[in-house]
Chains A and B, each alone.
Chain A
Amino acid sequence: MNALLPFAVTFASLCFALAMLLAAARLFKGPAAQDRVLALDVMYINGMLLLLVLGIRSLSSAYFDMALLIALFGFVSTVALAKFLLRGEVIEP
Chain B
Amino acid sequence: MSELPAWAALPAAILLIVAGVLAAVGAFGLLRLPDFLTRMHPPAMGSTLGTGCVLLASILVSSAIAGRPVVHAVVITLFIVITAPVTAMLLARAAVYRSERRARER
Binding site for B on A (CB under 8 A): 1-9, 11-16, 18-23, 25-26, 29, 32-35, 37-39, 41-42, 45-46, 48-49, 52-53, 55-57, 59, 61, 64, 67-68, 71-72, 75, 78-79, 82-83, 85-86
**Contact (Cβ within 8 A) A46 B27:** yes
A2's partner among B9, B91, B93 (CB-CB below 8 A) is: B9
Q: Are B73 and A64 in contact (CB under 8 A)?
A: yes
1/0 per residue, CB under 8 A from A, across B9-30: the answer is 1101110110111011011101
Contact of B27 among A2, A13, A18 (CB under 8 A): A18
Q: Are B1 and A57 within 8 A (Cβ)?
A: yes
- Is the pair A12, B30 in contact by a Cβ cutoff of 8 Å? no
Question: In the complex, what's the smallest C-beta–C-beta distance from A92 to chain B, in angstroms?
Answer: 15
For chains A and B in complex, what number of residue pairs have CB atoms within 8 angstroms? 169
Q: Is the CB of B61 within 8 A of A56?
A: yes
Instruction: Give Cα A11 to B19, complex, Å.
Output: 10
Q: With A1-B9, A15-B21, A64-B73 as known contacts, state yes or no: A34 contacts B87, CB within 8 Å.
A: no
Question: Shortest CB–CB separation between residue B82 and chain A, in angstroms?
Answer: 9
* Given A2-B2, A2-B9, A71-B80: A41 in contact with B28 (beta carbons within 8 A): no
Contacts A12-B20, A59-B61: A79 and B76 contacting too (C-beta < 8 A)?
no
